[in-house]
A and B are shown apart, each in its own frame.
Chain A
Amino acid sequence: MTTEFKDIKSTGDGPIIVEGKHADNERLKLESNYLRGTIVEDLADRMTGGFTPDNYQLIRTHGMYQQDDRDIRAERQKQKLEPLHNVMLRARMPGGIITPKQWLAIDKFADDYTSYGSIRLTTRQTFQFHGVLKPNIKLMHQTLNSIGIDGIATAGDVNRNVLCTSNPIESELHQEAYEWAKKISEHLLPKTKAYAEIWLDAEKVETTEHDEPILGKSYLPRKFKTTVVIPPKNDIDVHANDLNFVAIAENGKLIGFNVLVGGGLAMTHGDNSTYPRKADDFGFISIDKTLDVAEAVVTTQRDWGNRVNRKNAKTKYTLDRVGIETFKAEVEKRAGVTFGESRSYEFTSRGDSIGWVEGFDGKNHLTLFVENGRLIDGPDSPIKTGVAEIAKVHKGDFRMTANQNLIVAGVAAEDKANIETLARQYGLIKDETSNQRKNSMACVAFPTCPLAMAEAERYLPGLVTDVEGILAKHKVADEHVILRVTGCPNGCGRAMLAEIGLVGKGPGKYNMYLGGNHAGTRVPKLYKDGVDEAGILTEIDQLVGRWSTERNDNEGFGDFTIRAGIVAEVKVSKRDFHA
């Protein structure tokens, strides 16, 4: 491929192609026979609950991560038992829409075959099963298949689950946008039949390079994330994603998209060549060019992305290396389009409006706040059972949001009272839930995520209670600070677009970032390194104290921290983030 692009001039700070020995993941993708590897052999191996190293990576492209219960890892080592290996499955649900029938099936599977008995709604606008043992994996995929769900390409070096703004009010526009999310997802999906062969016992069919025209034999250099967003809501956080289609409507009708490329939040502690970065606006395209542009961005990143160093392999680094103009020109060439001038739009919010709204179509929609997205029955709030009970009577559908909440969508006026009664009965509506809690978010982290360096999901609820106390103390109890905790710097909790972002560094220690805004259009900057939980509260107390007395009218916390010079603004990530 190197010679193919020798005439293209980089306008960034590096070459078009990074030369050197490819990362080991490139070898395993290439040798995997189109994502098959030796997964079937591993499934038959009764000696271990885990997968061999290459398959450990490959199963991600089938929607699964190998994990283990880290709370008991050391205990089991002493018991001469291997870690309690299991898999987490992330389903492919473009736009997060799921029917009550599907919901009841996944609810049952979670009860019968997962060690935690929970359903986890995630920032990828889908659900995850946690704690599925190897002998039950095939059954899991077959169960999902029987209700029209799969786990294809929700992880690994592929285009992952495509997000779409959850906007039940503008029902028609949302429907159109949602259809595009589905079409993009399907267009960019791996075409190999590996998934069906391995998990659904489909007939074996050879895959050739010809069958995988978009992703290629080696797939993408790194994970790739795509969204369809309907302004003014930015609930899906465009700047956390490689490729975003910003819906532009005229008279309530979708006419095209602004295309935003190169967002991404992941970084590596101590490696300044990594940084969270906002996406760049390439301009407007008409609706008929959507799939061409999606494909062109993906194939350009496929060919130009860094396959030598995985830490610099995402689209955001490719853009900075080859230059935005060069990348954009290549996309125009490949897609046969010219980007028009970007249409004006504005993002005003990212959170979900908890409670009832009425859509243009007269249907009612109830957004339920699900703390951490974790649907599990607690002693006082059997919320997982509650959702299942609603699913038994609900005639519309459910929508999982990128903020890890759940919308009971399309409720007829006469059914409203019944749904609300059920939701209250099972603790799914709690009037006392504060704005602060609704605008706080954490990734999964311990005990299941192998990457976690510190607690996140289990830390957040108590932290929010403490922050609520601080807000009350400074007489801003009804307001909120966008607060996000993530157990490692890989970005699942989107802390790198928060007003206060806490990124796990070690047990009980977090790097503290300040300066994001409500709309999610600014990356925060490091404020303090390696702060413990007590230190975090001391800092928040002091900062919120200043904000409540010194701020301008309606000035958000993040805006204030920048105006007051507490942290410098990150305008260009590559230059400013580590400065």
Chain B
Amino acid sequence: MLPGQKNLNQTMLDANQLASLQEAIATYTPLQLAWTSGYLAAKSEGGSVAVLPTATAGASAQAQPTLTILFSSQTGNAKGVAKKLAENAKAAGITVNFKNVSEYKPKSLKSETHLLIVTSTNGEGEPPDDAIEFHEFLASKKAPKLPNLQYSILALGDSSYEFYCQTGKDFDERLKALGATAVTPRVDCDVDYEEDAQSWSANVIDTLKDDLTKSGDAGLAPVVSLSGATEVESQYTKQTPYEAELLVSQKITGRDSAKDVRHVEIDLGESGLTYQVGDALGVWFENSAALVEELIATLKLSADEKVSIKGESFTLSQALTSELEITQTAPAFIEFWASISGDAKLKALAEDKNAAREYAGEHQIVDIVKAAPSDVAAQVFVDALRKITPRLYSIASSQAEVEEEVHLTVGLVSYEENGATRFGGASGFLANDAEEGATVKVFVEHNDNFRLPADGNTPVIMVGPGTGVAPFRAFMQERDASDAEGDNWMFFGDQTFTQDFLYQVEWQGYLKSGLLTKMDVAFSRDQAEKVYVQDRIKENAKEVFEWLERGAHLYICGDANRMAKDVHNTLVDVIATQGGLTPEQAEDYLKSLRSNKRYQKDVY
């Protein structure tokens, strides 16, 4: 026996305790182990330990199983049937989770044991609007195996249509294919559905009643959120990133938006990579093939020409694609190109550092070269470029919710120059170049300066306009999964309500469920006068101050240049006015919040 184990055995746990601990954790994934260690650490310090209902934790086998009843309905008939079904099931002593399918997270399916679906079908066999996503999920690769699931389906339809009850049939077929078992056969009902629906309901409750009313003792299983858990060192780092799969790159601004913002989902697979909410994801990217080609053509060089970077040999094309930075530039390059080209305007620019920086910020390499064409040797050009660097994105998800995935909110950087649209390096890669299924090299960048309060009861105020919304989506997922009781107040802003309300439907859902206490939004271009998040903070001055006074943590994420400063100044104002303080005292108030980790920023 090794000394360490012996020690553990002798001083901490007896043999039985140790055996049962080892047995308990034998099947845990690295993620679950990390989770458990955090739980135990928190427990040993006597800290409060969050609890989750078993349905969401998906753990305890002893707990009384829940019957999940989902409905999707176009005209309300299916809803009516499902509602009655839920009432009858409850009356039979069954624990019921009753939801419209659009409010149901399809990923929870894998932890379900008993599921009933009542669904109608639209005109030509397509699912009702509220079931489109669920239907897509079931049919997609993302759908999990469901060997433990027992289910039954009631399909409402109209037999005069060609695709009678099609949606019900689709669900049935897919659930079966995923390994689930039909406890009673699907029933298809015609326009006069009442009787068939009633007998299906009675039958299915009768069949499931015994299974679902065994009294289990542990209704709740203790868990703790990842926050505060010991981090497991990952073998994947900035230098050795994980080659992840891009699952989704979905535009989440409307078709008439001036912006293109993407919701990106990346699969961390078996990497064992873990992150906490507040962390960032580093993303390596390749420069776009079209841009590389345009640059080489402008320089009148050959794509296949060999160049060397730090002793390694590449073709020019390879070097410009994956080794060197060509979408971001710096004053040094302007200086370089001014001397190569002898261009007077560039020379003048190079001498004024501020102007050079500004110009560099607004131009890509190719446009600087185009502004003053000149011949250059490939190696000389390559030597003047910087090594490509990964971009960091605030993570927009919590692993308590999305497990092996990581979500980002990526604003596609783009502007017009030389009659072409120039895109940001990483955002262009994620939005335009990488197809779903492509490989993305990623690593986790921890950020302990942007953390939810350890105590789930502490209120939080989140200010995250634009893509600054990302970490707060993660916060909400985390607080949802950990059943944190603290109040949550979100301030969001963007250009227009109809086109730019990022994750609108999710925020509405969190408000409806009560997880989100309050949300205030500001859309700058919807009215004659511009309105921003800081204006909403000001309008709510009294309440903001009250929240701070009762211990709220305050977070700002997004634009560093203007927004974060404006919000800060507004906060100083609010605190001074509401607290009867001088501006200096109000600044001190915020300083003390900051040193107590109650005022945190993630700005860029």
Contacts and interface: CB of A to CB of B under 8 A. Distances in A.
B504 A509 contact: no
B252 A79 contact: yes
Given A80-B252, A82-B504, A46 B129 contact: no
B222 interface: no
Contacts of A73: 129
A314 to B, nearest CB: 18
Contacts of B527: 135
B28 interface: no
Given A133-B498, A530-B161, A80 B505 contact: yes
Interface in A504-554: 505-509, 529-530
Nearest to B520: A46
B503 A80 contact: yes
B294 interface: no
B255 A47 contact: no
Contact of A509 (B123, B132, B190, B521): B123
Interface of B: 122-124, 129, 132-133, 158, 160-162, 190-191, 250-255, 263, 497-499, 501-508, 511, 519-521, 526-527
B158 A47 contact: no
Contacts, number: 79
A163 to B, nearest CB: 29
Given A75-B255, A270-B191, A81 B504 contact: yes
Contacts of A80: 250, 252, 263, 502-506
A505 B504 contact: no
A133 B252 CA distance: 20
A578 to B, nearest CB: 13
Interface residues of A, number: 30
Given A46-B521, A454-B123, 11 more contacts: A47-B521, A77-B129, A78-B250, A79-B251, A82-B505, A133-B497, A135-B497, A270-B160, A506-B124, A507-B123, A507-B124
A76 B254 contact: yes
Contacts of B124: 506-509
Nearest to A83: B129
Nearest to B512: A47
Interface in A159-183: none
Query: Can you list the 3 inter-chain pairs with the closest CB atoms, starting with the nearest?
Result: A506-B123, A270-B191, A79-B252
Nearest to B163: A506
Contacts of A75: 255
Contacts of B504: 47, 80-82
Contacts of A269: 158, 160, 191
B136 to A, nearest CB: 9
B160 A72 contact: no
Contacts of A77: 129, 132-133, 505
15 contacts: A47-B504, A49-B497, A73-B129, A74-B129, A74-B132, A77-B129, A78-B250, A79-B253, A80-B505, A81-B498, A82-B508, A269-B158, A271-B191, A509-B124, A529-B160
Interface in A75-96: 75-82, 84
A49 B498 contact: yes
Nearest to B516: A47
Contact of A47 (B253, B511, B526): B511
A421 to B, nearest CB: 38
Contacts of A47: 504, 507-508, 511, 519, 521
Interface in A450-483: 453-454
A48 interface: yes
A454 B191 CA distance: 19
A42 to B, nearest CB: 13
Contacts of B499: 81
A533 to B, nearest CB: 14
A454 B161 CA distance: 14
B401 to A, nearest CB: 15
A48 B497 CA distance: 9
B512 to A, nearest CB: 10
B398 to A, nearest CB: 17
Contacts of A84: 254, 498
Contacts of A453: 123
A81 to B, nearest CB: 5
Given A74-B132, A509-B123, A79 B250 contact: yes
A74 B162 CA distance: 23
Contacts of A270: 158, 160, 190-191
B298 to A, nearest CB: 36
A100 to B, nearest CB: 29
B505 A505 contact: no
Nearest to B502: A80
A133 B263 CA distance: 26
A79 B521 contact: no
A64 to B, nearest CB: 18
Contacts of A133: 497-498
A150 B228 CA distance: 61
Contacts of B497: 46, 49, 133, 135
Contacts of A82: 504-505, 508
Given A80-B252, A84-B498, A506 B129 contact: no
Contacts of A135: 497, 526-527
B526 A530 contact: no
Contacts of B253: 79
A406 to B, nearest CB: 31
B547 to A, nearest CB: 19
Contacts of A78: 250
A232 to B, nearest CB: 39
Contacts of B158: 269-270
A509 B250 CA distance: 32
Contacts of B162: 530
Contacts of B123: 453-454, 505-507, 509
A339 to B, nearest CB: 39
